Amino acid sequence: MTSRIAVGAALGAVLFVVGAALADDTPKLTELSPNGADACFGRVYDAAHLKAHPKQKVARIFFYYGHDPVSRPNEEPSTFGGAAYDGFLTTTVRGTKKPEWAAGWCNRQSEDGKSGPIHCGMECDRTLALLKVDDKGRLIVSNVQPDVYLDAGAEEELGTAQYNKQALGSEDDNFRLDPMPAATCKAEFARIDPIDPALGAPLRERLQPDQAFCYGRDYDAAHLKSHPDQVTQSIRVFRGPVELASYASGGDVANWPDGADIAVSVTTRLKTGKVTQTYSCQGEADQWRCAASSKMSDFACDVSQKEIFLKRGVNGTMMLANPNSALAIVDLCSKAADGKTKSDDKVYRLNPMPQSACAP
């Protein structure tokens, strides 16, 4: 169903659909929201209804019109605009606990945008739903496609059996939803990706554009003995005077952390001593995706395809992932750096340290 690839232990690349705030110049749909506030409609079907409609998979359905109820503060720049989504649909099918969701933009199907039926469109000229409010204020949601949560061409890609398993049922359309408090929809959408309060604020808020920082870890003999494949003895991730000056000269604070340089220093069990590599980062969903850079590094080859990922950890820690040999524990220019990392040097939990711990 909806493609929301979670970042696991390797903190791999994330696909994340972000709906922007309701655009100020979007014609307001007063039948959905007479006072201009965010509007919520929903329905939870009881056992009797579901028994009488065996081809209906949807057990819970909610439609939200207004500002994005799904995304929460993350690592993308605060000015990230997206596609001005203002319609959000979420459903939970029988036998599952987690909802699926999709977003689109809703307007009347007319040139002036002030008359005609309400059509909610999605990317690639797809339809999210058609909307109509009945004389009792209930929202009629129709033309919901079975593949609303699937990628275009999913039936051919998945095969008929798997497609039918993941798609909505033949009776999952023409829903009649009751008006509900906005908080009810927000609570329903919050079930999609519950927030872990132990993670705290995103890195882009913890770490400011003009702020130096130092995170790291030193591994003792006992740890290294229990992890014989780990070559890292100590690791530091930092922004110091050089990185701050680089950002100050060309960075766009409004798009922080995009363009932020960080340095990573590693001391290994090998004879290479301490190796330092610079990475240029950008915010992506709940992580910083950082590509290796030739600036201020110990390597001169084109290493831009080598990436690491930074993510907030619990209790003020920082997670660093090196899923593709992108950490300078070996010469990133050599063939030995190709392919997946084949050691314990993949994921690091780093603690905040004084800046002096990251001094050259």
pLDDT in tens, 232-248: 899 999 999 999 999 99
Q: Which residue has the tokens 């240029």?
A: 280
Has residue 287 been placed in a domain?
yes
User: What tokens does 159 get?
Assistant: 């095969």
CATH number of the domain within which 229 lies: 2.40.128.20
d(CA 117, CA 132): 7
d(CA 193, CA 51): 29
The answer on pLDDT for 340 being more than 70 is no
Which pLDDT score, from 0 to 100, does residue 11 have?
A: 32
Residues contacting residue 107 through CB under 8 Å, at least 6 positions apart:
26, 27, 29, 113, 118, 119
288 φ, ψ (degrees, to nearest 5): -100, 125
What confidence tier does 197 reach under pLDDT thresholds 50, 70, 90?
confident
114 lies in the same domain as 232:
no
User: What tokens does 44 get?
Assistant: 């939870």
The answer on pLDDT for 177 being more than 60 is yes
Strand partners, 29: none
Instruction: State how many domains the chain has.
Output: 2
Has residue 28 been placed in a domain?
no
169 lies in the same domain as 270:
no
Task: Report the predicted TM-score, pTM, of the whole model to 2 decimal places.
Answer: 0.62
Has residue 18 been placed in a domain?
no
261 φ, ψ (degrees, to nearest 5): -90, 140
> Each residue of 158-167: pLDDT tens digit?
888 998 899 9
Strand partners, 63: 41, 89
162 lies in the same domain as 236:
no
> Each residue of 266-322: pLDDT tens digit?
898 877 778 888 899 999 888 999 988 876 555 556 566 688 999 999 999 999 988
Nearest to 59 by CA among 73, 69, 49, 72: 49
Residues contacting residue 210 through CB under 8 Å, at least 6 positions apart:
244, 248
Nearest to 276 by CA among 266, 268, 286: 266
Which pLDDT score, from 0 to 100, does residue 270 have?
A: 77
CB-CB contact of 263 with 276 (8 Å): yes
The answer on pLDDT for 221 being more than 70 is yes
> Each residue of 34-87: pLDDT tens digit?
898 999 999 999 999 999 999 999 999 999 999 888 877 788 886 544 557 899
Neighbours of 244 (CB within 10 A): 17
Which pLDDT score, from 0 to 100, does residue 115 have?
A: 64
Which pLDDT score, from 0 to 100, does residue 4 have?
A: 30
182 lies in the same domain as 226:
no
Has residue 12 been placed in a domain?
no
d(CA 278, CA 275): 10
Q: What percent of the chain has pLDDT over 70?
A: 80
Q: Quick one: how far is CA 135 from the chain centroid?
A: 39
295 lies in the same domain as 354:
yes
The answer on pLDDT for 91 being more than 50 is yes
For the residues 137-158, what does the mean pLDDT come to?
A: 89
Strand partners, 268: 232
Q: Which residue type, as a one-letter code, is found at position 216?
A: G
Helix (H) or strand (E) holding 216: strand 213-218
Which pLDDT score, from 0 to 100, does residue 129 have?
A: 96
187 lies in the same domain as 217:
no
Q: What percent of the chain has pLDDT over 90?
A: 53
Has residue 17 been placed in a domain?
no
207 lies in the same domain as 152:
no
Among 48-52, 197-201, 249-253, 298-302, whose mean pLDDT is lowest? 298-302
Has residue 50 been placed in a domain?
yes
Residues contacting residue 257 through CB under 8 Å, at least 6 positions apart:
75, 77, 203, 204, 207, 209, 281, 282, 283, 288
Q: Quote the radius of gyration of the chain (alpha carbons, Å).
A: 25
The answer on pLDDT for 103 being more than 50 is yes
Which pLDDT score, from 0 to 100, does residue 108 have?
A: 85
331 lies in the same domain as 190:
no
CB-CB contact of 296 with 264 (8 Å): no
43 φ, ψ (degrees, to nearest 5): -160, 140
Domain span at residue 142?
Answer: 39-195
181 lies in the same domain as 295:
no
How far is residue 217 from each of residues 96, 105, 221, 223, measured CA to CA in Å?
Answer: 41, 46, 13, 12
